[in-house]
Amino acid sequence: MKAFLFLLLGSMAIFAGEALTGAVEKQPLNMSAIIMFVIFVGATLGITYWAAKRTKTAKDFYTAGGGITGFQNGMAIAGDYMSAASFLGISALVYAKGYDGLIYSIGFLVGWPIILFMVAERLRNLGKYTFADVASYRLRQTPIRTLAAFGSIATVILYLIAQMVGAGKLIQLLFGLDYEIAVVLVGVLMILYVTFGGMLATTWVQIIKAFLLLSGATFMAIAVMAHYNFNFETLFATAVQMKDLTIMEPGALISDPISAISLGVALMFGTAGLPHILMRFFTVSDAKEARKSVFYATGFIGYFYILTFIIGFGAIVMVFQNPQYLDLAKQAVDGGSPILGGDNMAAIHLSHAVGGDFFLGFISAVAFATILAVVSGLTLAGASAISHDLYASVIRKGKTDGLMEMKVSKAATVVLGIIAIFLGITFEDQNIAFMVGLAFAIAASANFPILFLSMYWSKLTTRGALLGGSLGLLTAAVLVILGPTVWVDVLKNAEAIFPYKYPALFSVSAAFIGIWFFSITDKSESAKQEKEAFEAQFIRSQTGIGSEGAVEH
Is 292 a binding residue for another protein by CB under 8 A? The answer is: yes
Residues in the chain, overall count? 553
We find the least distance from the C-beta atom of residue 545 to another protein, in angstroms, to be 6
Query: Is-contact 159 341, C-beta < 8 A?
Result: no
Whole-number Å distance between alpha carbons of 25 and 469:
42
What stretches of 3-91 adopt beta strand conformation (E)? none
Nearer to another protein, 238 or 400 (CB): 238
Residue 68: phi and psi, rounded to 5, are -75, 140
Which of 9, 34, 116, 217 lies at the binding interface for another protein (CB under 8 A)? 116
Nearer to another protein, 12 or 156 (CB): 12
Residue 542: phi and psi, rounded to 5, are -85, -35
Which of 291, 330, 463, 501 lies at the binding interface for another protein (CB under 8 A)? 291
Is 2 a binding residue for another protein by CB under 8 A? The answer is: no
Is 268 a binding residue for another protein by CB under 8 A? The answer is: yes
Nearer to another protein, 243 or 407 (CB): 243
Query: Is-contact 30 176, C-beta < 8 A?
Result: yes
Cα distances (Å, whole numbers) of residue 532 to 145, 454, 459, 463: 20, 13, 9, 16
* 22-30, 231-239, 351-359, 366-374 -> range binding another protein (CB under 8 A): 231-239
Which of 41, 43, 45, 114 lies at the binding interface for another protein (CB under 8 A)? 114
Query: Is-contact 291 71, C-beta < 8 A?
Result: no
Is 35 a binding residue for another protein by CB under 8 A? The answer is: no
Cα distances (Å, whole numbers) of residue 253 to 34, 71, 267: 36, 34, 15
* 16-24, 198-206, 253-261, 440-448 -> range binding another protein (CB under 8 A): 253-261
Which of 23, 35, 180, 288 lies at the binding interface for another protein (CB under 8 A)? 288
* 60-68, 117-125, 209-217, 475-483 -> range binding another protein (CB under 8 A): 117-125
Nearer to another protein, 378 or 505 (CB): 505
Q: Which 516-535 residues touch another protein, going by CB under 8 A?
A: 535
We find the least distance from the C-beta atom of residue 213 to another protein, in angstroms, to be 18
Nearer to another protein, 27 or 271 (CB): 271
DSSP characters over 163-189: HHHHHHHHHHHHH---HHHHHHHHHHH
Nearer to another protein, 233 or 332 (CB): 233
Neighbours of 414 (CB within 10 A): 15
Whole-number Å distance between alpha carbons of 28 and 45:
27
Q: Which 438-477 residues touch another protein, going by CB under 8 A?
A: none
Is 391 a binding residue for another protein by CB under 8 A? The answer is: no
**Under rule CB under 8 A, how many of the chain's residues touch another protein?**
55
Binding mask 173-212 for another protein (x = CB under 8 A): ----------------------------------------
We find the least distance from the C-beta atom of residue 442 to another protein, in angstroms, to be 22
Whole-number Å distance between alpha carbons of 121 and 525:
31
We find the least distance from the C-beta atom of residue 382 to another protein, in angstroms, to be 28
DSSP characters over 209-245: HHHHHHHHHHHHHHHHHHHTTT-HHHHHHHHHHHS-G
Three-class secondary structure of residue 197 per DSSP: helix
- β-bridge mates for residue 326, sequence order: 339
Neighbours of 46 (CB within 10 A): 11
Cα distances (Å, whole numbers) of residue 507 to 159, 262, 311, 448, 467: 19, 10, 35, 12, 13
Is 236 a binding residue for another protein by CB under 8 A? The answer is: yes
We find the least distance from the C-beta atom of residue 287 to another protein, in angstroms, to be 8
User: Exposure string (b/e) for 489-503, b if CB count within 10 Å is 16 or more?
Assistant: beeeeeebebebbbb
DSSP state of 20: -
We find the least distance from the C-beta atom of residue 305 to another protein, in angstroms, to be 6
Q: Which 77-106 residues touch another protein, going by CB under 8 A?
A: 99, 102-103, 105-106
Query: Is-contact 163 375, C-beta < 8 A?
Result: yes
Is 245 a binding residue for another protein by CB under 8 A? The answer is: yes
* 20-28, 43-51, 294-302, 428-436 -> range binding another protein (CB under 8 A): 294-302
We find the least distance from the C-beta atom of residue 123 to another protein, in angstroms, to be 14
* 28-36, 135-143, 201-209, 234-242 -> range binding another protein (CB under 8 A): 234-242
Q: Which residues contact 394 (CB under 8 A, 6 or more apart)?
A: 141, 142, 145, 146, 149
Residues that bind another protein (CB under 8 A): 99, 102-103, 105-107, 109-110, 112-114, 116-118, 121, 232-233, 236-237, 240, 245, 248-250, 253-257, 259-261, 263-264, 268, 287-288, 291-292, 294-295, 298-299, 302, 305-306, 535-536, 539-540, 542-546
